[in-house]
Amino acid sequence: MRNGFCLLPLALACAGAPLSAIDAEPAQLLKLRPVPFTQVRIRDSFWAARQETNRVAAIAINLAMLEKAGNIHNFELAAAGATNGYSGPVFMDSDLYKGLESVAYSLAIHPDADLERRLDAIISKIAAAQQSDGYLDTYYIVKEPGKRWTNLRDCHELYCAGHLFEAAVAHYQATGKRAFLEVAVKLADHIDSVFGPGKRLGYPGHPEIELALIKLWRATAEPRYFNLARFFIENRGRHYFAEEHHTPLDRYDGSYWQDDVPMVEHQKIKGHAVRAAYLMSGATDVAAETRDGALLAMLDRVWRNTTERNLYLTGGIGPSAQNEGFTTDYDLPNLTAYQETCASVALAQWNHRLALLYGDARYADVFERSLYNGALAGMSLDGTRFFYVNPLASAGRHHRQEWFGCACCPPNICRTIASLGGYAYAFSDDGFWVNLYIQGSASARLQGQEFNLDVATDYPWDGKVLLRPRLERPAKLGLRLRVPGWCHGASVSINRRRIANPRVERGYLVLERAWDNGDSVELDLPMPVQRIAANPNVKADLGQVALQRGPLVYCVEGCDQSEPLSSLYLPPAGQWRAEKEETLLGGIVAIKGAVEIAPQPSPDGGLYQALAPPRRVDIIAVPYCVWDNGQPGPMQVWLPAAPARGP
Amino acid sequence: MRNGFCLLPLALACAGAPLSAIDAEPAQLLKLRPVPFTQVRIRDSFWAARQETNRVAAIAINLAMLEKAGNIHNFELAAAGATNGYSGPVFMDSDLYKGLESVAYSLAIHPDADLERRLDAIISKIAAAQQSDGYLDTYYIVKEPGKRWTNLRDCHELYCAGHLFEAAVAHYQATGKRAFLEVAVKLADHIDSVFGPGKRLGYPGHPEIELALIKLWRATAEPRYFNLARFFIENRGRHYFAEEHHTPLDRYDGSYWQDDVPMVEHQKIKGHAVRAAYLMSGATDVAAETRDGALLAMLDRVWRNTTERNLYLTGGIGPSAQNEGFTTDYDLPNLTAYQETCASVALAQWNHRLALLYGDARYADVFERSLYNGALAGMSLDGTRFFYVNPLASAGRHHRQEWFGCACCPPNICRTIASLGGYAYAFSDDGFWVNLYIQGSASARLQGQEFNLDVATDYPWDGKVLLRPRLERPAKLGLRLRVPGWCHGASVSINRRRIANPRVERGYLVLERAWDNGDSVELDLPMPVQRIAANPNVKADLGQVALQRGPLVYCVEGCDQSEPLSSLYLPPAGQWRAEKEETLLGGIVAIKGAVEIAPQPSPDGGLYQALAPPRRVDIIAVPYCVWDNGQPGPMQVWLPAAPARGP
């Protein structure tokens, strides 16, 4: 139940509660179009600053690290016909592609001739490495020539190709240049010549290419790319990896690769988390076109299982380091939470696709949760260090690293931040949808004219949003504003007149009228500090609560407290206030309050001991996304709701 | 550590913490003299009202019930030489004696010619039943003639004799009449002719006669009675009951009767609780005279074990119904607490003896705790119903009864209330000691003159006490005022001048000066509401706290609350206020406060649930001693310190 306008502050199911519309009848496939990142401007203090840091620090560091680690040199080797000297793991190419994708998005936001020249130079090297038949994977070209497509399960050729497609499409959209896109097309054509009906069976050990082929299809209008994506989706689960590796079927558990059953038969999220979320993203893209009821039903089922039983409060997935993925429902440990940065990004991408498909705010709720918390934590405030693993509690030994031997995460969060504008808005023929509240503007071609929307807000620090459409002439359309699932008591005014009972559809306020220049919409999303409890089935969080304000999940860091974290708790009657801290962690709204730390009876004391009054201890909580921006130290998202019992 | 004047409100060991003076060297045996009940007047709203109820209701009901149950008829049968018709258990005589002891005390407080005539008539029947050799026990006379002294272990002859001695001494002190005392002397002489050095070995299965013989010795100055008491104490533990019942020694565990080891070897309190406490009382009386170091050391050791590990917060002992006694250290369950009313009375009596012996306030602390809580709860406010078992928590099925087949408890609490004045004061040659603060007066012959002390106070509801000595001429002596162990920050003024650093000795304020008429002492014992925790070794109370104010332990009764007891808790930061309630439970100070009952996450809700603000729920706590004065209902002394964790 979404409670945007519920006046009673009843316990709210923030995520994953059933939506009766979908239960009752097949949901309508709205297939909204996203407003592309090129049509969105971000001019706020939160994301604009991060995009700038991303550009000047993180992306530059990514390129330098990729250079240093040999990711680019691998292409030079391949172009030169070398058969040794390859550096790094089998999926090195993909990290470079994600890095380049980040650069492309960044160029669209902030033109930079030097950076663009550098990008073009790398693209030339990539093009030079491409084989005459279109094949391109430096690992196989340099290190294992002649062994192409022999180990789809483990060797990431299709995964790397997918990231090339994504980077190439981004580059084309950002710059209008076709050089990279042509490499992508040649590679896609090559792959299409190998796999497909009447050709080879096969699909990627690490899904990703499916969603990338859809992007390439949309950029080129070449239906073979869609069909190939559909082929990969619809054939998955035929135990290809067992055959490939001569594994007897009775000893084959394909669940790690989501290859245990055909796609339509999945009952729950399983296996490697990033694989699972990319796969569901591609499946969503395919189902949006095929309108395959069984595939859509599977997606709904698995999405519910994910968000109702396998999602961290911070919007990440995959609790276990052992398989970088899922274990059993409700297994969400905090200290050992894996919650890979890439998995948060992948889950956000899947939910973005579902949000466009159904126009239902609950998907954007999950997107927002993943983005502002699990994903954003992946990068330090100064853009120089990265988390691969994102625990929800630390004893003080977890700290962002400069780079990783397996460097999938840094460029993944870089490209997400750089392309963020593309996730914020969507439109249909008669409506304009606002999913994320970010100061700036967006525009889309609607009803034969340019529809512009200017947005002023201090979100996520404040829930007041002022929206002003700009049009060439008045146009009747529905402006749809997401009421976040965390929000109670949202209110809206048009031209300063409060709308008494605004229409709410699938979590969106629907403001339908003939909009004209000069109109203004004031949306107010109250942001009290919320005490959040987990479903009691989550044993790791039993008796514990977390603080959330707006979309941000908070945590307590040892460095901010006067007492050890082990003595802190978050009582029901606590008074928590949000306070702007301009100088702390780059400027945040901190949550402050005090708890009473009570003396405990001592085993060395008498049989009965009068307890002295509790000591008042201040607590400062900071957004989870900015934790660990100093010396390594202890951190907890969840704290007990009550003081610890005696010794 | 006693902290009467400690300014820092540190956790206080209320009971049982070691006292360094005794550790360091043998404590001085002060052997204070009690101011007898005949020399004390009680004129307050708390005890005077209870003494009046005791007189008009409880004692009258006791006599009626004893009559109805056949306790008196048994004597008529014995006097008539009957050999059948005996009613009730083997110890019927003792219940009558305790009832008569109550009547005697009551007559001293409130002369009542009808009642005195009735008492005399019953005493005549008792005297008539006494055998020519002095033997008196209606069970053996009527039911098992010829079998005297054949089953000391189980058949209570010596126990009944002890209660006869106590009643006879009380009657003599209260009325000056010797009739009952003469019966006692004849019986004691008979017993002395049977047991003792060079005569029979033996001692009571249920100790009591030891302390009673000491009383008889003090009333008559006959040293044989002291010697017989000493014989019973010093020979106990010689496995007489094994011999008596032909139990092989290797199969004999005498601990139930404290007959497992010689008295001086006891390391801890054990066995049947009432037996243990009466035995230790008698042993204290004997040791006070013999100054036997081993016996004194045993008493100290066992007292520490009792109060440091085996005492309920309500001052009762004996957790187990199975043996009406002790189990293992720190085993203090609440719902199944046995805490027999007689055991609280017996423990109080033992501590009164220790208080007189050592002049150390910690013994009076335990006396006060037992008296105001575990013992006093034994009688309903209207004096018509009684508890035998006193649990510290009830699910609602525990309720005072009109009478019991085993009716030891009702007359025991009756005699305690009627004789209360006798426990309040003590004196030495140069000092006057105040142990209990009760409005009224006391007098003692000191330094050749009558020393009177008038006391005005609303104790236990308020800690302000005004004391005014009245003398024939000025006298230099130490007025010693107990600072209760529960009290922090006590202050005292003499003639309205605050004493800056008063001398404190063994828990007593020592006010030494030449007292004169017109002097006044104002003692202020602050009575904030205290949150009490048990030593963490008490598993039953882990994570729980209780409320205490002054000497009174409080409880919550279901009937007073708006919420089920299971949802209530007592948080460290709770604001608890004491509020006079003139119409509630006969007029009490209730403890009131509010707790926040927080909604819990539901397993049927979402994966994460924003918790609504807590509901404010008022709590009313009432003194434990007045619980269950309405319909039976749930009750708890201990409540969790924090709200229950989710479902």
From chain B, pick out residues whose CB is under 8 angstroms from the CB of A573.
571, 596, 598, 614
Q: Over 80: is that where the pLDDT of B11 sits?
A: no
Residue A10: closest CA among chain B residues belongs to which residue? Answer: B612
From chain A, pick out residues whose CB is under 8 angstroms from the CB of B535.
601-603, 605-609
Q: How many residues does chain A have?
A: 647
Question: Considering CB atoms only, which of A542, A543, A545 is closest to B611?
Answer: A545
How much of chain A, in percent, has pLDDT values that exceed 90? 90
Residue with tokens 């990729």: A66
Tell me the average pLDDT across B36-62: 96
Q: Over 60: is that where the pLDDT of A613 sits?
A: yes
Question: Considering CB atoms only, which of B532, B533, B600 is closest to A646?
Answer: B533
What lies within 8 Å, CB to CB, of A187 at 6+ separation is: A130, A134, A135, A136, A161, A164, A165
Asked if A207 and A240 count as a contact pair (C-beta separation under 8 A), the reply is no
Look at B14 and A602 and tell me if their CB atoms are within 8 Å. Answer: no
Predicted local confidence at residue B644, as pLDDT: 67
CA distance A108 to B559: 71
Catalytic residue among B101, B166, B208, B324, which?
B324
- Min mean pLDDT across A299-308, B34-43, B608-617 is at B608-617
Look at B606 and A309 and tell me if their CB atoms are within 8 Å. Answer: no
Residue with tokens 């005589």: B93
Amino acid symbol at B243: E
Which token pair is A13?
């199911």
Q: How many residues does chain B have?
A: 647
Put simply, whether the predicted model's pTM sits higher than 0.90 gets the answer: no
Q: Over 70: is that where the pLDDT of B548 sits?
A: yes
Residue B529: closest CA among chain A residues belongs to which residue? Answer: A610
What lies within 8 Å, CB to CB, of A342 at 6+ separation is: A274, A408, A409, A412
CA distances from B427 to A393, B33, B105 (A): 65, 5, 21
pLDDT averaged over every residue in chain B: 93
Q: What's the pLDDT band for A1 if we cut at 50, 70, 90?
A: very low
From chain A, pick out residues whose CB is under 8 angstroms from the CB of B606.
12-17, 308, 535
From chain A, pick out residues whose CB is under 8 angstroms from the CB of B597.
572
Q: What is the predicted ipTM?
A: 0.88
Predicted local confidence at residue B616, as pLDDT: 87
Q: How many alpha carbons lie under 13 Å from residue A352 in its C-beta half-sphere?
A: 27
**Residue B335 to chain A, least CA–CA distance (Å):** 18
Look at B606 and A647 and tell me if their CB atoms are within 8 Å. Answer: no
Is the model more confident about A424 or about B543?
Answer: A424
Catalytic residues of A: 324, 408
CA distance A607 to A588: 48
Which token pair is A165?
């497609």
CA distances from B275 to A470, A608, B272 (A): 94, 25, 5
Question: Which site among A305, A486, A609 would you substitute to test the B interface, given the most B Cβ atoms closer than 10 Å to its Cβ?
Answer: A609
Q: What is the pLDDT of residues B459-499, one digit of tens each?
A: 999 999 999 999 999 999 999 999 999 999 999 999 999 99
- Min mean pLDDT across A25-34, A233-242, B321-330, B432-441 is at A25-34
Which token pair is B482?
């107990």
The conformation of residue A249, written as its DSSP 8-state character, comes to G
**Sheet holding A475-482: strands in order across?**
A33-34, A425-427, A431-434, A475-482, A508-515, A503-505
Look at B531 and A606 and tell me if their CB atoms are within 8 Å. Answer: no
Q: What's the pLDDT band for B49 if we cut at 50, 70, 90?
A: very high
**Residue A124 to chain B, least CA–CA distance (Å):** 48
Asked if B224 and B197 count as a contact pair (C-beta separation under 8 A), the reply is no
CA distance B200 to B128: 27
Asked if A280 and A296 count as a contact pair (C-beta separation under 8 A), the reply is no
**Biggest alpha carbon distance in chain A?**
86
**Residue A508 to chain B, least CA–CA distance (Å):** 20
What are the start-end ranges of the H helices in B395-483? 409-418
From chain A, pick out residues whose CB is under 8 angstroms from the CB of B642.
641-643, 645
Could you tell me the end-to-end alpha-carbon distance of chain B, in angstroms, rounded to an integer?
41
Question: Considering CB atoms only, which of A545, A610, A647 is closest to B11?
Answer: A610
Q: Over 70: is that where the pLDDT of A9 sits?
A: no
**Residue B640 to chain A, least CA–CA distance (Å):** 10
Q: Over 60: is that where the pLDDT of B8 sits?
A: no
The DSSP element (H or E) to which A230 belongs, if any, is helix A223-235
Total Cβ atoms within 10 A of residue A250: 6
- Min mean pLDDT across A64-68, B529-533, B614-618 is at B614-618
Look at A596 and B571 and tell me if their CB atoms are within 8 Å. Answer: yes
Q: What is the pLDDT of residues A411-453, one digit of tens each?
A: 999 999 999 999 999 999 989 999 999 999 999 999 999 999 9
Predicted local confidence at residue B294, as pLDDT: 97
Question: Considering CB atoms only, which of A15, A572, A611 is closest to B643?
Answer: A572
Name the packing angle between helices B92-109 and B409-418 (round to 10°): 20
Q: What is the pLDDT of residues A614-638, one digit of tens each?
A: 888 999 999 999 999 999 999 999 9
Question: Which site among B597, B609, B637, B639 would you substitute to test the A interface, given the most A Cβ atoms closer than 10 Å to its Cβ?
Answer: B609
Q: What is the pLDDT of residues A539-550, one digit of tens each?
A: 999 999 999 999
Which token pair is B310?
């085996």
Question: Which site among B607, B611, B645 would you substitute to test the A interface, given the most A Cβ atoms closer than 10 Å to its Cβ?
Answer: B607
Tell me the average pLDDT across A36-50: 96
Q: Over 80: is that where the pLDDT of B633 sits?
A: yes
Which token pair is A57?
């620090």
Q: Phi first, then psi: give them for residue A383, nearest 5 degrees.
A: 75, 15
Question: Considering CB atoms only, which of A307, A573, A606 is closest to B14?
Answer: A606
Look at B605 and A11 and tell me if their CB atoms are within 8 Å. Answer: yes
Look at A612 and B10 and tell me if their CB atoms are within 8 Å. Answer: yes
Look at B535 and A603 and tell me if their CB atoms are within 8 Å. Answer: yes
pLDDT averaged over every residue in chain A: 93
Pairing status of strand A475-482 against strand A431-434:
parallel
Q: What is the pLDDT of residues A313-353, one digit of tens each?
A: 999 999 999 999 999 999 999 999 999 999 999 999 999 99
Q: Phi first, then psi: give them for residue A529, nearest 5 degrees.
A: -70, 130
Tell me the average pLDDT across A4-21: 32
Look at B572 and A643 and tell me if their CB atoms are within 8 Å. Answer: yes
Q: Over 90: is that where the pLDDT of B264 sits?
A: yes
Look at A572 and B309 and tell me if their CB atoms are within 8 Å. Answer: no
From chain A, pick out residues whose CB is under 8 angstroms from the CB of B362.
none
Predicted local confidence at residue A23, as pLDDT: 41
Give me the sign of the Cα torsion angle B321, B376, B556, A640. Answer: negative
Predicted local confidence at residue B571, as pLDDT: 84
CA distance A329 to A467: 41
Look at B602 and A307 and tell me if their CB atoms are within 8 Å. Answer: no
Catalytic residue among B408, B414, B487, B555, which?
B408
CA distance A494 to A519: 7
From chain A, pick out residues whose CB is under 8 angstroms from the CB of B601.
11, 533-536
**Residue A294 to chain B, least CA–CA distance (Å):** 25
The DSSP element (H or E) to which B545 belongs, if any, is strand B544-549
Look at A611 and B531 and tell me if their CB atoms are within 8 Å. Answer: yes
What lies within 8 Å, CB to CB, of B383 at 6+ separation is: B53, B54, B56, B57, B58, B61
Question: How many CB pairs (< 8 A) connect A and B?
Answer: 194
Predicted local confidence at residue B321, as pLDDT: 97
Is the model more confident about B176 or about A611?
Answer: B176
Residue A313: closest CA among chain B residues belongs to which residue? Answer: B608
Q: What is the DSSP string of B350-412?
A: HHHHHHHHH--HHHHHHHHHIIIIIIGGGB-TTSS-B-SS--SEESS----BS--SS-SHHHH
CA distance B44 to B52: 11
Asked if A212 and A166 count as a contact pair (C-beta separation under 8 A), the reply is yes
Asked if B129 and B81 count as a contact pair (C-beta separation under 8 A), the reply is no
Q: Over 80: is that where the pLDDT of A249 sits?
A: yes
Output b/e per residue, A86-95; b: 16+ Cβ within 10 A: bbbbbbbbbb
Look at B13 and A486 and tell me if their CB atoms are within 8 Å. Answer: no
CA distance A350 to A200: 28
Look at A606 and B309 and tell me if their CB atoms are within 8 Å. Answer: no
Rounded (to 5) percent helix, strand, coil in chain A: 40, 20, 40
